[in-house]
Structure 1
């Protein structure tokens, strides 16, 4: 979940625009119809398991346990990212790295769900679920994210997915990306990213979700769930279709106007995202083994995680890192990180370019396109994660 902007390095896109557009369409389709439902199902199953197993008759205590475990675990894994990256390097012990990295994802995923569940439940219990209470908290959280230029962190599948690539597997971007920070400021940066930005994101998600529960066919769970799916996917399609227009505006506008346009676009995508999530989540609650909830939760938790691992996209379940709105130059700030098939073709093209460059080097015939080995200009890819398709 959550994503910064993405970009395949210009020199690695290939010469055929139609081919790249086809790959883009396939990536968006895969993200929307396969990866997003699997991620939502995993979260629903994990959340439900905790509901069933951790103080099921004491909501307050259950929420506090989730809060402590979630916040402490997310902060600890964020602080330990450099240590884990050095300890579990893919070039030393491949099998150990593969197994350990997937265990890391499983643990981090469980921690993320508890982080969200704890804050969400405590807010429900102590702030109330009336429209006025929900609306005021949500509005304040949106203003907080907009003021800190972190609205982008509302993103989740289908608008942000993460392939399980070796580069940057354990990397968790922080709010203040100062490489010269001492250890104390580094830890404070990690804690701020988790406890402040992360909490505001949870509050906005909870608010939008709760308002849908209140106003979208209340008392009719099946109809309400299907309505959310329809609304969500319509908004997702509209958002993706607006990409060319938004990329043009992002290239041509500057200053506060550019940031405002980007934020509005991100909020539209967020509305589509949360409708898709709520629709799939509630359909599973209503139709998938409703009389055996524990089994239903266990199946969606374990099976969906296994499927995401097998398709090399398990990191899509993670909520980690902080990204800044409109930080990238040009159109990158509105380019959603839905890279899967394109990463495969980029790696293939990268190997071809490296081989060609090596042949030219051996024959002492340098060429202008040698710089393509690093993609000309480097563009950061995201994830909630995060990978950088232009990095080797």
Structure 2
């Protein structure tokens, strides 16, 4: 769910400081107010449609089927990412690339939701939902991810926006960064990344969500969801506001202290994220055609996915890849990958500079040709 920001700071560093701060605030607002609700709506609708259509009378079989389908698809997309990037590119036809890449997102999105739903529900069946069990499994999964330096993978929108760029559209980073030419090691790396790290992330989300269900106004669903939404967005504002000082501190730390700071900051952002997701998810159930679940969820599914595709950030719905804690240099390790507007304006500035360079080169070439023409001497009249 979480992307890397390595190199982005240098790439986007242009313009005045005030202009950069304004774009950063606009990106945070865009991610929080538009992308996050759309991503949550997609996940909620897809999850509920699976509840309605995938073996609804057999919960364990339904969960197992979703887990098998989702994990297998995630594994295949991880293993064959190099081939997908090679054979699906704009160079082979922009329309073909656009259609097939968005079809990939549709299938991969369903696979991601299926894998999460399957593992989540199987865990419910195996461990139950007592507060003590939830606390122990959540703590164990969190510590395991921290030990693997993969805790940042619990973050999601509004703290991550995946822009649909052709360069890395199909990229799925693996835990040990093995090369696809090392076939056996690469396959094992993909298996570990998809099943072990991916399942640990589900454990953390499931435990945190269920604990909120238990302790946050369990007798009043409406009040509980609204409270989650308000608390979540309040923490989102605080987390984004703290990014500059935390980045300053991280740039001056090294080793374990820097890693600890990054992990604590990601945990705060995760608390905000899970509250926002739970609030939006529950309020959709309460207010959006509650008497017609099929109509409600099909509309939500189509509208949210179409909106994200039109905004060119449909890959934000995907849970894929393993990102390492504090792998970026200096303070970039605590910068959230929400660079939608900044990347757009950077691309436009790059295009303008390229056009100006071409015009300057054409002008210089024309002047050079004119200077090299032989001097024309008019014939004297006889």
Taking structure 1 as the reference length, what is the TM-score of the superposition? Answer: 0.90
Tell me which moved more, 286-295 or 171-180: 171-180
In the alignment, does 2:286 pair up with 1:286?
yes
Aligned twin of 1:24: 24
Aligned twin of 2:104: 104
Q: Larger relative CO (CA 8 A, sep 6+): 1 or 2?
A: 1
Report how many aligned residue pairs link the two structures.
364
* Higher normalized helix content (fraction of residues): 2
Aligned twin of 1:301: 301
- Give the Å deviation of 1:360: 7.6
Q: Distance in 1 between matches of 2:325 and 2:192?
A: 17
Taking structure 2 as the reference length, what is the TM-score of the superposition? Answer: 0.92
| Contact map agreement 2:178 2:185 (CA 8 A) in 1 | no
CA RMSD of aligned residues (A): 1.6
Q: Distance in 2 between matches of 1:322 and 1:13?
A: 26
- Give the Å deviation of 1:166: 1.3
- Give the Å deviation of 1:251: 0.4
| Contact map agreement 1:12 1:349 (CA 8 A) in 2 | no
Aligned twin of 1:54: 54
Q: Secondary structure at the match of 1:163?
A: coil
Q: Distance in 2 between matches of 1:69 and 1:14?
A: 45
Q: Secondary structure at the match of 1:290?
A: coil
Q: Distance in 2 between matches of 1:339 and 1:122?
A: 36
In the alignment, does 2:209 pair up with 1:209?
yes
User: Radius of gyration: which is bigger?
Assistant: 2
Aligned twin of 1:158: 158
- Give the Å deviation of 1:124: 0.6
Return closer, same or farther for 1:75/1:180 CA change in 2, 3 Å cut-off: closer
- Give the Å deviation of 1:357: 5.5
Aligned twin of 1:84: 84
Residue correspondence of structure 1 range 230-245 to structure 2 within 5 A: 230-245=230-245
Q: Distance in 2 between matches of 1:176 and 1:167?
A: 21
Aligned twin of 2:370: none
Residue correspondence of structure 1 range 216-295 to structure 2 within 5 A: 216-295=216-295
Q: CA-to-partner distance for each residue in 1:329-366, whole Å, 9 max, x for gaps?
A: 111100000111111111112223445566788869xx
Tell me which moved more, 209-218 or 12-21: 12-21
Tell me which moved more, 310-319 or 9-18: 9-18
Q: CA-to-partner distance for each residue in 1:60-85, whole Å, 9 max, x for gaps?
A: 01000011001111001111111111
Q: CA-to-partner distance for each residue in 1:252-281, whole Å, 9 max, x for gaps?
A: 011101111110000000000000000000
Q: Distance in 1 between matches of 2:228 and 2:12?
A: 38
